[in-house]
Amino acid sequence: MNIPTITPILTTTNEAKDIKTITFRYPKTVIPGQFFMIWIPGVDEIPMSVSYVNKEVKGITFRKIGEATHALYQLKPRDKIGVRGPYGNGFTLTGKHLLFIGGGTGVAMLAPVVEQARKRKLKTTVIIGVKTKNELFFEDRLRKSGATILISTDDGSKGYKGFASSLAKDILTKEKIDAVFTCGPEPMMKTLLSSCRTTPFQASLERYMKCCIGICGQCCIGKGLRVCLEGPIFDGKTLKKIDDFGVYRRDAAGRKIPV
């Protein structure tokens, strides 16, 4: 059976403007980087990466951006949502000094893997890149994990002024980084990949998803790689062979549109 399990929302937390975290009881084992399908009955069902991983309780963090996230944003504790999953592969931690780059809301799904790396006592540097400082969230949470946190803002309102990918390039040339992990806008991730050269690289991709179980083909990239099943985390070697990475995605009708 692969159908939503109805579960009440336990907590809702405002993280920044238009950004919320919702937690719910869901005792299945989840690897950071994996995602759920969140069903809002009567509205839609959407993929959401896990942002909090506890034994009994899981969480998702999202920006109010479309019809489904607007509906999700309005929900309160005890309201019911449907959850199924987890789906996808999740991150694989390798190396001793790790660099994480989260662009926009991308930091939400990186947070649990950063905490996992710190639990393993790995040297961990995190770049949180946002347009402007009031979009920033999870800074305190990640500092508490013991990771080194760097902020970049496009407008210079906090930390480094400029793109997270430029800041990452500086770090990659100055320090010995064993592996790079990223989630954010695809052009940013593509730039990062080109800065990485031989450094192992893992990126979380976002595609319009429908079935989430690898049968409908909606989220395919390259030669039939299903983002919902073989992804959403892909390594640099695979991504270098995918022409559409950082360039095109597909809309609900399967038409190619710029990312």
Binding mask 180-209 for another protein (x = CB under 8 A): -----------------------------x
Token readout for 80 is: 């019911």
Q: Select from 71, 171, 172, 213 the one that contacts another protein (CB under 8 A).
A: 213
72-111 residues in contact with another protein (CB under 8 A) are 80, 82
Contact residue for another protein among 139, 211, 235, 259 (CB under 8 A): 211
Q: Which residues contact 204 (CB under 8 A, 6 or more apart)?
A: 33, 49, 91, 106, 109, 182, 183, 231, 232, 233
> CB–CB of 234/202 below 8 Å?
yes
Do 221 and 205 touch, CB atoms closer than 8 A?
yes
| Least distance (Å) between residue 11 CB and another protein | 20
> Between 155 and 215, whose beta carbon lies closer to another protein?
215
In degrees rounded to 5, what are phi and psi of residue 95? 95, 175
65 binds another protein (CB under 8 A): no
Beta carbon of residue 221, minimum distance to another protein (angstroms, whole number): 7
Could you tell me how many residues of this chain bind another protein (CB under 8 A)? Answer: 39
**Interaction of residue 60 with another protein, rule CB under 8 A:** no
Q: Which is nearer to another protein, 16 or 71 (CB)?
A: 71
**Does residue 28 bind another protein (CB under 8 A)?**
no
Q: Which of 27, 41, 77, 156 touches another protein (CB under 8 A)?
A: 41
Residue from the set 78, 197, 253, 258 that interacts with another protein by CB under 8 A: 253
Strands (E), 142-195: 148-153, 160-161, 179-183
SS3 49: strand
Q: Rule CB under 8 A: choose which of 221, 227, 233, 239 binds another protein.
A: 221
SS in 3 state form for 188-212? HHHHHHHHHCCCCEEEECCCCCCCC
- What SS3 state is found at 111? helix
Q: Rg of the Cα trace of the chain?
A: 17
Binding residues for another protein, rule: CB under 8 A, are 1-4, 6, 37, 39, 41-46, 80, 82, 209-218, 220-226, 250-256
